[in-house]
Structure 1
């Protein structure tokens, strides 16, 4: 029996029956495999990379993640797709509607009041000069009248003057804001009443009357209040 360089016994005198090496060849040296290092366990106070729980060993007791493995990949939520909408030009943006009450002296209305020849008509004269006054309307109620400090009356649209219309009651009428953005007028049982546009009869006291853009309110001896929307 022959012996190969690796020490195997072979019946074949040329090549080993076990490893196939040539019987008369040189022996092959095999290097020893390096020792396998033991994996390092997590240190005290270390937390799980998957759920953040405190680790007491290699595997997390909360989620079971292996602390020696790579941290799990967290999928990012998909970002919503925002359509590319061009901006609206500034000159096309809608503007908030605003209302203004313009107070002036109306000669035609004054003449119609004088024609009725009321008890105080003889002592009332049409003002030689009465500049327009503009009152922006804001809020739910706008009171109209003449200020009276002794009675504690301070209307929003104060017609105390000058010139002062003596036919206007201290608390004459009320403008009420409507849900659609418009206004209505209510006469507060004034001494000389309230009229709208050229309607022949004055308003019934304490009954709202809807107003539109451009409507005219007549009170006192010559006062006209025009509502305008812009």
Structure 2
């Protein structure tokens, strides 16, 4: 066993195994250049100069070129042929909430549906006039439920599909129908008890009250005096 000038026990007799310091009796290191010698002097006790690049240092390896003061060689590099250990399992990808993206409700004034309502000659049919201008609206379906109706001062929040927007459909109840998101990404339609009922796909037969009716892309929901809501879904890329 040998002891280096810094007090470390070393198996090697020439350079310390721990800090790389020259042990007494070993061959001296090559003479440093004048600039390197000045840096070594400024570094104090334990400072030596790298014979490859002239950088002074106190650690076993040169901070510039990686020279190993203990063995007289370059700094060991990792074996690139051995693949690194695998990282932690990220687990299954997060599944988006049903209805969070991809589905859209296209709201429009439907002349054909209006004509069918007038043909039934209901008690209010004589006062209904089809709006001369009704721009189409596109409403993304996001969340667990989408209410179809007309907002009022008594409601804490307006329905997601608000048919009080001009032109207001007077035949729509405050909560006329509700779209419910299902775990598989599909939707169902419920009429909770509207005054003028809810129909699908051109039929004049209303859907049952308080029963979930499955709907899919392309289905048309008819409510009020002239409103048709068409469901669309973006195709996956």
What's the TM-score once normalised by structure 2's chain length?
0.58
Which one of the candidate residues 174, 181, 185 is aligned to 2:189? 185
Q: What is the CA distance between 1:151 and its match in structure 2? A: 3.8
User: Is residue 103–residue 134 contact of structure 1 (8 Å, CA) maintained in 2?
Assistant: yes
Gaps of 5+ in 1: 1-37, 47-57, 60-65, 83-95
Match of 1:162 among 134, 143, 166: 166
Instruction: Please show how residues 1-230 of structure 1 align to structure 2 within 5 Å.
Output: 39-40=2-3, 78-80=82-84, 98-230=102-234
- Report how far residue 198 of structure 1 moved: 2.5
CA distance in 1, matches of 2:210, 2:5: 85
- How far residue 153 of structure 1 moved from its aligned partner, in angstroms, is 4.6
- Choose 1 or 2 for highest CA Rg: 1
> How many equivalent pairs are there?
162
> Match of 2:211, SS?
coil
Tell me, what secondary structure is at the counterpart of 2:113?
A: helix
Cα distance in 2 for partners of 1:200, 1:120 equals 17
- 1:161 deviates by 2.3
Cα drift, residue 111 of structure 1: 1.2
| Corresponding residue SS for 1:170 | coil
- Unmatched 5+ stretches in structure 2: 19-75, 87-99
How far 1:209 sits from its partner (Å)?
Answer: 1.1
Note if contact 1:42-1:67 (Cα within 8 Å) is conserved in structure 2. Answer: no
CA contact 1:153–1:171 (8 Å) conserved in 2: no
Shift of 1:199: 3.2
What is the TM-score when the length of structure 1 is the normalising length?
Answer: 0.60
Q: How far does residue 119 in structure 1 lie from its aligned partner after superposition?
A: 1.5
1:103/1:132 contact within 8 Å kept? yes
Relative to structure 2, which stretch is displaced further, 115-124 or 129-138? 115-124
Instruction: Using the TM superposition, name which of 96-105 and 215-224 deviates more.
Output: 96-105
Contact 2:113 2:202 (C-alpha < 8 Å) held by counterparts: no
Residues 167, 221 of structure 1: 8 Å contact kept: yes
